[in-house]
Structure 1
Amino acid sequence: MPRYNKIFAGPPGEVDVQVEEAPCNVSLTPGQLVVLSSGKWVAHATAGGRGRYRVLQDNYLACEDVDTQIAANDTGVGLIPHGDLLFYVRVATGQNLAKGDALVSNGSGVLVKGATSGHQILFWAEETYNNTSGSTQLVLVRPAQGTVP
Structure 2
Amino acid sequence: MAQSAGLVLLVLACTLTYVSACTCDPMTTKQKFCNPDFASVFKIKDNGTVVGIDRVYKVEMLHQYRTTVPDSNPDAGKLYTPADSAACGVTFIRDTYYVVSGVYVKKPGQRIQMVTNKCLLQVNFPENPLETYVPPTCDPTTKQIKVDQETIF
**TM-score, normalised by the number of residues in structure 1:** 0.29
Higher helix share: 2
Higher strand share: 1
Greater Rg by CA: 2
